[in-house]
A and B are shown apart, each in its own frame.
Chain A
Amino acid sequence: MISSDPTVTLTTAWPHPPATLALTAIVLFVYFRRYGWTRRAWWMIAAAVVVVLALMSPLATLAEGYLFSAHMVQHILLVLAAPAFVLMALPEGWRVPHWMERMLHPAACWACGVGAMWIWHAPVLCDAAATSRAVSGVQSVTLLLMGAAFWWQLLAPRESDRIAPLQGVVYLFAACAGCTVLGIILTFAPVTVCRAYVHPVDRLGIMPLIYGTWGMTPARDQQVGGLIMWVPMCLVYLGAIFGQLARWYGEEQIMTYKL
């Protein structure tokens, strides 16, 4: 239903792709069936909320062909927030199968976390994800998985699966540097990275709101997107670096690192 007020249209535009809904519900069901209601379950709830925000809220509507910057927020929620929350929701001592453990080398995990950012911003893939539902689905799943691999080194439920705190600082700093470089490129690039966002197909009639009321332009949109990847994203890494330092200084008192 299209309202005449674009703000109302946007705030009521909560897409609900059946596959995403079903997957989220299944994951929640399995989790609660298996582990019941514990204090950790709140993290699972938080993860679900983040997924809903990223994929089933007006943010997702904006990210679907309207705003590069909205897509970037979605991206960060899926790579940095949701997987971290899921890992924290898992019970202490939870482990992955043996064959997978060997694949989770710190270098590989790091490459997943940073690669998730770089790969999906190659112009071709970025355009495809912005216009095709199927590609967008693949993107969301890979972002979640790659994000989980990245955080595994820092938030794995078993302390022994995590890297040493000071290595963690280097790991996070390098990730911050990797995303900063991409952020700088996106911010300063005089050319368009995702062409799909330059001439959006206005399905909902909210263009006047975005380009008029908000004062957005495609160039500014890309700049904001680059800055989101550059600044807030690095702040997440920075926060995690403090987590590692706290873990380091408190190592002997608290052997298991609880959040």
Chain B
Amino acid sequence: MKDAGEAVIEAVLDPSQREHYQLAWLSTVDHKRIGILYMLTGLVFFIAGGTEALLIRLQLAVPNNHLVGPDTYNMLFTMHGTTMIFLVVMPLLFGLANYFVPLQIGARDMAFPRLNAFSFWLVPFGGILLHFSLLLGEAPTVGWFAYAPLSETPYSSQMGVDYWAVALLVLGIGSVGTAINLLTTVLCLRAPGMTLRRLPLFTWMNFINSFLVLFAIPVLNAGLVMLLIDRRLNTHFFLPAEGGSPVLWQHIFWSFGHPEVYILALPAFGIVSEIIPVFSRKPIFGYEFVAGSTVAIALLSVGVWAHHMFTVGMGRPMDVFFAGSTMLIAIPTGVKLLNWSATLYGGRIKLKTPMLYCIAFLVQFLCGGITGVSHAMVPLDWQTKNSYYLVAHFHYVAVGGILFAILAAVHYWFPKMSGRMLSEKLGRLSFWLMLVGFNGTFLIQHFLGLAGMGRRIYTYPDLPGWGWMNMVSTVSAFFMAAAALVVLWNIVASLLSGPIAGDNPWDAWTLEWATTSPPPEENFERLPPIRSRRPLWDDANPDRPDPVVGPEHDGGVSPGIDKNKCGILTFVISETGFFGALILSFLYYNVQPQSGPSAKDLDLMRTGFFSIFLFASSWTMWRAEKALHRGHSAGMMMWLMLTITLGATFLAGQAVEYGNLMGHGALLDSNLFTATFYTLTGFHGIHVFVGLLAMIIVLALAFAGDFHVPVPPPALAMVAIYWHFVDIVWVLVLTVAYILPRFV
């Protein structure tokens, strides 16, 4: 008997069930269509972000220019940065991952197709929210990292920052959803024989990257929530005049922001690791090192954020440690560059368009990396921070590295997605235009920066050399625009009348090339046996296959991890980041007691009493699971109702506490204690409430008889994991907010 989840998915996947809506692309849950939708969305916003970039460059083309005013200019660079990172590069990379990760591991779809569609639709929704502020004429003017207190109401009273923050929250939730989906897909849906040690590197890097998304994005969400509460509800988390800490915003933002750099870079590394071997006609050199260094980069990247803050004045110890740990990242990245170069060495290199973009990537990313190391040196950083040297550095990473890799991927995988080849001639034209345009735009900005031109200035006096250097940069930017148009033209022309690609036009070796182009709805008719990292090579060369990777014996079945459990556990991990940031912020603001209400005014006895109800509900939940396990669906419903009652009692206790505190004048905006306390316990309360709703739904399903079957749906077990997590969070909140302050 099939389990209930599988059956549902098959019904959802069956196209005939949906075609009659005539909205196949809007209602799709197919990973390939969603992947393409992601990329189209990225393209639309690329046009917006690119136009903003061109306007910035036009404004800076000549000294003392007044094409746009300072406020418009601030809007332009804020929207350009936010758009390019969150609405262009991330959707493009998620789109590629969506399309190719399931194909590369021989899966039929992503683990949670509907979650996938939900995550995707949040992107246009978030993008529209962000751009709605433009329609109001109140676009944010605070830069993509929205430093406090500039981003606070007294300094930015218009709605722009609110739209910015809400849009980022929406996009962040979508990103976490995608990360959960990718992780679960890779862990649970691999084809027989596709062990983790045989994963194609693009899939491996997206897998590692998903962990990074899971840890980094929720921290940003916590910060955004605090910023929004500051702005809409008059607290002062980040307002120094009222005791708040703008530096905390910087820590929160960069503890997301630095991993974010690698969230963008790791999938790009994955792309390059796929393309270079294929066009060198050699397996990747040192697979294990490329894969292992990915783990190193991911781990190091979460612990080095403070190097964005050397000019804040954190003190010498912080500077020294973060300079050191930052420089360490050069080692695994260097390992990767060496491996890619060694793959090229001695290969039969075919300089097709994707390969051209990859080779440019190698050189340009190396340049961006080296200027990156120079920023890790504190004294140099003090001199060049917020100059065009920095602008040039991160554009060498983000455009010269990541965008070039994405363009390589588009030229490499387009035949698979469309079934048609792109024109090699137009491809080369776009490459050379892009190469000249990119380096012309940004190489010279290093020198502008060293000459003292500051980042984000809207115009500049006619200093020696500045005028012509800026003009070179602006003219070159239009070469990049031309390159983008050629890429588009190439795509449209190919869709209309490109030569048919066939299954495997590049003679590549990973599984996505083992099916038709484009792949059918179910992806694969049959899969070749998978014993190494290049199954199609083994298939084509049975007389000299690659050595078998890993033990033969575990190459028979997909691993037996339950995908629902995997999904909920990864979700819980992401919530850990969110609550972790809130709890640490609470500690930070309350170690020294505030004037006014403080943690010592809380009623530990009463809260402790109501906490017992919450902890007891974990036990009753466990009993409900046990009852279901034994097939007693009536017993399960009884225990579940008890759990709901206990949870609701706890919430009622919280409501009484809030009422008491507010009755004594301790309102959300009274001081930093009340702000942190209500935020932390409030979000916990919301989680309890959501848990209650989920349990009520499960209970209703149980009453409808859904659980009175031999193999009951997994819903109860999943809600239980979530519920236990919410209880564990409460143990921490209780300790930090109620118990610890009594001992300080």
Which one of B271-279, B318-326, B667-675 is at the interface?
B318-326
Q: Which residue of A lies closest to B251 (CB)?
A: A188
> How far is B584's CA from A230's CA once the two chains are assembled, in angstroms?
15
Beta-carbon contact of A190 and B591 below 8 Å = yes
Does B292 belong to the interface (CB within 8 Å)?
yes
Point out the residues of chain B lying under 8 angstroms from A107, CB to CB.
Answer: none
List B residues 555-594 near A (Cβ within 8 Å): 580, 584, 587-588, 591-592
> How far is B204's CA from A249's CA once the two chains are assembled, in angstroms?
14
Beta-carbon contact of A185 and B584 below 8 Å = yes
Beta-carbon contact of A223 and B317 below 8 Å = yes
Point out the residues of chain B lying under 8 angstroms from A210, CB to CB.
Answer: none
> How far is B316's CA from A241's CA once the two chains are assembled, in angstroms?
29
Beta-carbon contact of A241 and B295 below 8 Å = yes
Point out the residues of chain B lying under 8 angstroms from A224, CB to CB.
Answer: 317
> How many B residues touch A, CB cutoff 8 Å?
28
Beta-carbon contact of A249 and B303 below 8 Å = no
Neighbour of A173 across the interface among B299, B318, B550, CB < 8 A = B299
Neighbour of A234 across the interface among B196, B303, B322, B744, CB < 8 A = B303
Does B296 belong to the interface (CB within 8 Å)?
yes
Does A74 belong to the interface (CB within 8 Å)?
no
Beta-carbon contact of B592 and A242 below 8 Å = no
Q: Which residue of A lies closest to B255 (CB)?
A: A184
> How far is B302's CA from A235's CA once the two chains are assembled, in angstroms?
12
> How far is B302's CA from A238's CA once the two chains are assembled, in angstroms?
12
Point out the residues of chain A lying under 8 angstroms from B588, CB to CB.
Answer: 188
| A245-B295, A249-B288 known; A230-B317 Cβ under 8 A | no
Beta-carbon contact of B321 and A231 below 8 Å = yes
Beta-carbon contact of A235 and B580 below 8 Å = no
Beta-carbon contact of B315 and A220 below 8 Å = yes
Does A248 belong to the interface (CB within 8 Å)?
yes
> How far is B328's CA from A231's CA once the two chains are assembled, in angstroms?
11
Does B197 belong to the interface (CB within 8 Å)?
yes
Q: How far is the CB of A86 from chain B (nearest CB, A)?
A: 27
| A181-B580, A223-B317 known; A242-B587 Cβ under 8 A | no
Point out the residues of chain B lying under 8 angstroms from A140, CB to CB.
Answer: none
Which one of B296, B299, B328 has the greatest number of beta carbons of chain A within 10 Å? B299
> How far is B372's CA from A42's CA once the two chains are assembled, in angstroms?
40
Does B300 belong to the interface (CB within 8 Å)?
yes
Total A-B contacts with CB atoms under 8 angstroms apart: 62
Beta-carbon contact of B292 and A245 below 8 Å = yes
Does A191 belong to the interface (CB within 8 Å)?
yes
Does B313 belong to the interface (CB within 8 Å)?
no
| A189-B591, A231-B325, A245-B292 known; A184-B317 Cβ under 8 A | no
Beta-carbon contact of B197 and A248 below 8 Å = yes
Q: How far is the CB of A244 from chain B (nearest CB, A)?
A: 10
Does B461 belong to the interface (CB within 8 Å)?
no
B-contact bits for A233-256, CB 8 A (1 contact / 0 none)? 011001001100110110110000
Q: Which residue of A lies closest to B324 (CB)?
A: A231
Point out the residues of chain B lying under 8 angstroms from A187, CB to CB.
Answer: 318
Neighbour of A242 across the interface among B292, B315, B325, B551, CB < 8 A = B292
Q: How far is the CB of B394 from chain A (nearest CB, A)?
A: 24
Point out the residues of chain B lying under 8 angstroms from A26, CB to CB.
Answer: none
Q: Which residue of B lies closest to A185 (CB)?
A: B587
Does A180 belong to the interface (CB within 8 Å)?
yes
> How far is B328's CA from A251's CA once the two chains are assembled, in angstroms?
27
Q: How far is the CB of B297 from chain A (nearest CB, A)?
A: 11
Point out the residues of chain B lying under 8 angstroms from A227, CB to CB.
Answer: 317-318, 321
> How far is B289's CA from A249's CA once the two chains are assembled, in angstroms?
10
> How far is B324's CA from A251's CA once the two chains are assembled, in angstroms?
33
> How far is B550's CA from A246's CA once the two chains are assembled, in angstroms?
12
> How far is B315's CA from A180's CA once the two chains are assembled, in angstroms?
19
Q: How far is the CB of A230 from chain B (nearest CB, A)?
A: 7
> How far is B318's CA from A188's CA once the two chains are assembled, in angstroms?
10
> How far is B292's CA from A180's CA once the two chains are assembled, in angstroms?
22
Beta-carbon contact of A235 and B328 below 8 Å = yes
Point out the residues of chain B lying under 8 angstroms from A166, CB to CB.
Answer: 196
Q: Which residue of A lies closest to B248 (CB)?
A: A188
Beta-carbon contact of B591 and A251 below 8 Å = no
Point out the residues of chain A lying under 8 angstroms from B315, CB to CB.
Answer: 220, 223
Q: How far is the CB of A21 from chain B (nearest CB, A)?
A: 34
Does A176 belong to the interface (CB within 8 Å)?
yes
Which one of B288, B317, B591 has the greatest number of beta carbons of chain A within 10 Å? B317
Q: How far is the CB of A118 from chain B (nearest CB, A)?
A: 12
A-contact bits for B324-341, CB 8 A (1 contact / 0 none)? 110010000000000000
Q: How far is the CB of A229 from chain B (nearest CB, A)?
A: 11
Q: Which residue of A lies closest to B591 (CB)?
A: A191
| A176-B299, A245-B292 known; A181-B584 Cβ under 8 A | yes
Neighbour of A223 across the interface among B318, B551, B587, CB < 8 A = B318
> How far is B292's CA from A188's CA once the two chains are assembled, in angstroms?
32
Q: Which residue of B lies closest to A252 (CB)?
A: B551
Q: How far is the CB of A198 from chain B (nearest CB, A)?
A: 16
Point out the residues of chain B lying under 8 angstroms from A169, CB to CB.
Answer: 295
> How far is B211's CA from A241's CA once the two chains are assembled, in angstroms?
15
Q: How far is the CB of B274 from chain A (nearest CB, A)?
A: 19
Q: Which residue of B lies closest to A250 (CB)?
A: B288
Point out the residues of chain B lying under 8 angstroms from A231, CB to CB.
Answer: 303, 321-322, 324-325
Point out the residues of chain A lying under 8 angstroms from B295, CB to CB.
Answer: 169, 241-242, 245
Point out the residues of chain A lying under 8 angstroms from B288, CB to CB.
Answer: 245-246, 249
Beta-carbon contact of A251 and B551 below 8 Å = yes
Q: Which residue of A lies closest to B293 (CB)?
A: A242
> How far is B294's CA from A169's CA once the two chains are assembled, in angstroms?
14
Which one of B196, B325, B592 has the greatest number of beta carbons of chain A within 10 Å? B325
List A residues 163-195 near B (Cβ within 8 Å): 166, 169, 173, 176, 180-181, 184-185, 187-191
Point out the residues of chain B lying under 8 angstroms from A248, CB to CB.
Answer: 197
Q: Which residue of B lies closest to A232 (CB)?
A: B321
Point out the residues of chain B lying under 8 angstroms from A191, CB to CB.
Answer: 591-592, 744
Point out the residues of chain A lying under 8 angstroms from B292, CB to CB.
Answer: 242, 245-246, 249
B-contact bits for A206-220, CB 8 A (1 contact / 0 none)? 000000000000001
Point out the residues of chain A lying under 8 angstroms from B584, CB to CB.
Answer: 181, 184-185
Q: How far is the CB of A258 from chain B (nearest CB, A)?
A: 18
Point out the residues of chain B lying under 8 angstroms from A241, CB to CB.
Answer: 295, 299
Point out the residues of chain A lying under 8 angstroms from B321, CB to CB.
Answer: 227, 230-231
Give 18 A-B contacts (CB < 8 Å), ordered by A residue. Answer: A169-B295, A173-B299, A180-B303, A181-B580, A181-B584, A185-B584, A220-B316, A223-B318, A231-B303, A235-B325, A242-B295, A248-B197, A249-B197, A249-B288, A249-B292, A251-B550, A251-B551, A252-B550
Interface residues of chain A, those whose CB is within 8 Å of chain B, are: 166, 169, 173, 176, 180-181, 184-185, 187-191, 220, 223-224, 227, 230-231, 234-235, 238, 241-242, 245-246, 248-249, 251-252
Give the 9 A-B residue pairs with the shortest CB-CB distance, closest first: A227-B321, A249-B288, A224-B317, A223-B317, A231-B321, A245-B292, A252-B551, A231-B325, A191-B591
- In the complex, besides A180-B303, A190-B592, A235-B325, 7 extra interface pairs with C-beta distance below 8 angstroms are A185-B587, A189-B591, A191-B744, A231-B325, A241-B299, A242-B295, A252-B551
